[in-house]
Amino acid sequence: MESASLVEPTVVKLQADGKAFDKGLKSNAIGYVSNLVIAVASTAPAYSMAATLGFVMLVSGIGVQAPAIILISFIPMLFVSMGYNYMNRADPDCGTTFTWAARAFGPQAGWMGGWGIITSDILVMASLAQIAALYTFHLWYASPSPSSIGVLAIGIGWIVIMTWICYIGIELSARLQQILLTVEVITLAVFAIVALVDVYSAQATSAAIKPTVSWFNPFDVSSVSTLGTAVLTGIFIYWGWDSGVSVNEESEDSARGPGKAAVVSTVLLLLIYLVVTTASQAYAGVGALGNNAGDIFAFLGPKVFPKPINLILIITVLTSASASTQTTILPTARTSLAMARWGGIPKTFGHVNPRHLTPDVSTIAFGVVSTIWFVVIDILSPNNVLGDSVDAVGFMVCFYYGMTGFACFWYFRRELTKSVRNFFFVGIAPLLGGLSLAGVFIVGMSYYGHQKNNYSKDLFGLGLPDVIGIGLIIIGLVLGLIFHFTLPEFYSRKPEVADPQLLAQSR
Amino acid sequence: MSSGIVIGYDGSECAKEALRVALEVGKAYGDRVVIVYGFEINPLGGGEIHEYRSAVREVASERLKEAIAIASKSGSDGIDVEAVIVEHAPAPGLAELARERDARVIVVGTRGESPFRGALLGSTPHKLLHLADRPVLVVPGPGGG
């Protein structure tokens, strides 16, 4: 179906005083396939699995319940994403926790939400850089120690290159993204099928175990502490899925297209994660995956596939990590750009490069801070950058996703009793999502407060993930206080309540 | 119906060169010159799309004001000059706008970029040659080409 006009021009006519004026613009429409690609690519399945699966297996008392964790981790993310969906209606285009929390709870909460986004993204860069560096070595069949200087150097190079790519605005074409993602999904599927066939024909490793229904039952997880801590890790693999779903608000056929893309991407992701987790665990057993937590695909690849073919798996993890790096840097830079334009942080972060049209100051600042953080965590946790990063990111994601859930409930509080649909989807679901993430946050904090559960040595008597999580929230509060006094215009804004029109018009 | 000259403009040196040529052609035919700034926001970035879009639009408006100033300085009296922001990938955006306006010709500058960069990112003039349903005038930038 051809739309009436591809372009909706804005006329900037020359006026008598030589000034230009500007009419409103229509946003770009994107199609169903692009929606799907964005939602799945933002989650980066191959990288997410490589970075987390082994660490889920390391949570004490987890046993064979990893597939159950994958299933149950999705529920709070799904609930909060409903909040994302409705908060998006409060903004003309996509927003983030920063704008939404500022509307619902006031500018100070908005700042903390924005801080949560930015710090999660800085923390995850260390994990991305580490995976990218390790798998670059695996391409050449080299297995360096994760703490080696070579891994650090290649990881830093990776951050620099990806930051530069985002700075000059290089974008892969939509077609190429689709191809890469298709290869990624097919590779993971073939990997899982071959591994499962090997298990049932007794050709897998000696530690192989046949799957049972109990693997998928969350009620078989040994304790609440184990469940909460494993979900803290599990949340990581779904993180990013919401950004594809929020972009859906912009799509061509906003009545039908977005819902369909959200449902299909959700089912696709759940399936990939469940099948790959089950197949990996069945093939190698829990212990072996935990022992190779830093690079499970490099460990499993040559066992499941004959030697040169296993490289496809390595390359898939690398392309997935690149996609994930892009979907980390771009939205973070846009978030700090928006924060600067609203007046919540210094104005310079709102600068747009005149030639590349990218948020240049925000992008470069993000790259620099990420590099510094990668070096710092490499020193603090020489052998477990990955595990500590995933858990610290989990805490910050719980923090700002949880805040989004609460913000939705509170912003629309006067609309909730107007229909059963409003009550459950706009109120209860986001609230439950927020509450369960708060629960995961607390359980995780207490788990990593115990010395025996830490991967690396303690700091101030607490595990490194706890120190990072609490430390960042304290730094956020201090910075917030400074900005409160130095940027009074933004920080004196009052919270808003949803306009009843927002929900009425969007059936 | 009066025909027009559509010119793609991004404020670069080669775009200024192309603008100079477009104004010349416009004067020769008595055509309106439509100066177009095209940009596209990558939805993959997600996040605060609204604020990012307004920030880029501000840059675009600045560039177009400069273009209009150049046009009036070059003595464009007698011809109409119009400036337009098109929120679409530049090449298809230009081609489509030219078709809508039934333009006589589309004018674009080339940066004289390395072929590698062009192959990797795609160059606007190159794509335009395939997409446009009317003549395209490619103007080499100063020092390039």
Q: B33-88: per-residue pLDDT in tens?
A: 999 998 888 777 777 888 898 899 899 988 998 998 888 887 656 688 888 888 88
CB contact under 8 A, B97 and A350: no
Long-range pairs for A4-8: beta carbons < 8 A, 24 or more residues apart: A5/B96, A5/B100, A6/B88, A6/B92, A6/B93, A6/B96, A7/B86, A7/B87, A7/B88, A7/B93, A7/B96, A7/B97, A7/B100, A8/B87
| Bridge partners of residue B8, in order along the sequence | B36
What value of ipTM does the predicted structure carry? 0.85
Interface A-B, measured as beta-carbon pairs within 8 A, has a size of 162
Q: Is residue A2 pLDDT above 90, yes or no?
A: no
CB contact under 8 A, A337 and B40: no
CA atoms within 13 A on the CB side of A64: 19
* Residues in A 152-171 with any Cβ partner in B closer than 8 A: 170-171
Q: What is the pLDDT of residue A326?
A: 87
Give the confidence band of A445 by pLDDT, cuts at 50, 70, 90. very high
Q: What is the DSSP letter of B83?
A: E
Q: What is the pLDDT of residue A1?
A: 29
* Interface residue B1 vs chain A (CB under 8 A): no
* Total residue length of chain B: 145
CA distance to partner chain B, nearest, from residue A336 (Å): 9
Give the confidence band of A468 by pLDDT, cuts at 50, 70, 90. very high
Neighbours of A213 (CB within 10 A): 7
Closest chain A residue to B39, measured at CA? A357
Give the confidence band of A93 by pLDDT, cuts at 50, 70, 90. low
B76, burial (CB in 10 Å: exposed 0-12, middle 13-18, buried 19+): middle
Average pLDDT value for chain A: 85
Kindly state the average pLDDT of the residues B103-120: 74
* Residues in B 7-46 with any Cβ partner in A closer than 8 A: 10-12, 36, 39-46
DSSP H helix total and E strand total for chain B: 5, 5
Neighbours of A176 (CB within 10 A): 10
Kindly state the average pLDDT of the residues A36-49: 85
Distance CA B93, CA A28 (A): 11
A84-93, A163-172, B5-14: segment of lowest average pLDDT: A84-93
Enumerate residues 6+ apart whose C-beta is below 8 A from A493: A102, A106, A107
Taking a C-beta distance cutoff of 8 angstroms, is the pair A300, A198 a contact?
no
Report helix, strand or coil for B132. coil
Give the confidence band of A26 by pLDDT, cuts at 50, 70, 90. very low
Report helix, strand or coil for B89. coil
- Tell me how far apart the terminal alpha carbons of chain A are, to the nearest angstrom: 23
Long-range pairs for A377-381: beta carbons < 8 A, 24 or more residues apart: A377/A126, A378/A126, A378/A147, A378/A152, A380/A456, A380/A459, A380/A464, A381/A455, A381/A456, A381/A464
B28, burial (CB in 10 Å: exposed 0-12, middle 13-18, buried 19+): exposed
CB contact under 8 A, A14 and B56: no
CA distance to partner chain A, nearest, from residue B5 (Å): 15
Tell me which of B12, B32, B48 to substitute to probe the interface with A (most A C-beta atoms closer than 10 Å).
B48
Kindly state the average pLDDT of the residues A13-40: 52
Tell me the percentage of chain A whose pLDDT exceeds 90. 54
Give the confidence band of A30 by pLDDT, cuts at 50, 70, 90. low
DSSP string, B18-68: HHHHHHHHHHHHTPEEEEEEE----GGG-SSHHHHHHHHHHHHHHHHHHHH
Give the confidence band of A24 by pLDDT, cuts at 50, 70, 90. very low
Report helix, strand or coil for A205. coil
CB contact under 8 A, A7 and B96: yes
Kindly state the average pLDDT of the residues A435-444: 96
* Residue with the two structure tokens 């409160």: A484
Q: What is the pLDDT of residue A122?
A: 95
Q: What is the pTM of this model?
A: 0.87
Distance CA A386, CA A368 (A): 20
CA distance to partner chain B, nearest, from residue A196 (Å): 34
Average pLDDT value for chain B: 84
Tell me which of B23, B44, B87, B99 to substitute to probe the interface with A (most A C-beta atoms closer than 10 Å).
B44
b/e burial code for range A432-464 (CB count within 10 A of at least 16 → b) = bbbbbbbbbbebbbebbeeeebbbbeeeeebbb
A308-323 confidence digits (pLDDT tens): 888 999 999 999 998 8
Q: What is the pLDDT of residue A175?
A: 77
Q: What is the pLDDT of residue A382?
A: 79
- Quick one: tokens of A54? 């082994």
Give the confidence band of A188 by pLDDT, cuts at 50, 70, 90. very high
* Residues in B 63-122 with any Cβ partner in A closer than 8 A: 63-65, 68-69, 71-72, 81-88, 92-93, 96-97, 100, 120-122
Q: Is residue A267 pLDDT above 50, yes or no?
A: yes
Phi, psi of A73 (to 5 degrees): -60, -25
A138-142, A325-329, B117-121: segment of lowest average pLDDT: B117-121
* Interface residue A28 vs chain B (CB under 8 A): yes
CB contact under 8 A, A94 and B49: yes
Q: What is the pLDDT of residue A242?
A: 67
A204-256 confidence digits (pLDDT tens): 888 889 999 999 999 999 899 999 999 999 999 988 776 665 554 444 444 44
> Which of A170, A247, A342 is the closest to B43 by Cβ?
A247
Distance CA A260, CA A253 (A): 10
Give the confidence band of A505 by pLDDT, cuts at 50, 70, 90. low
Q: What is the pLDDT of residue A454?
A: 67
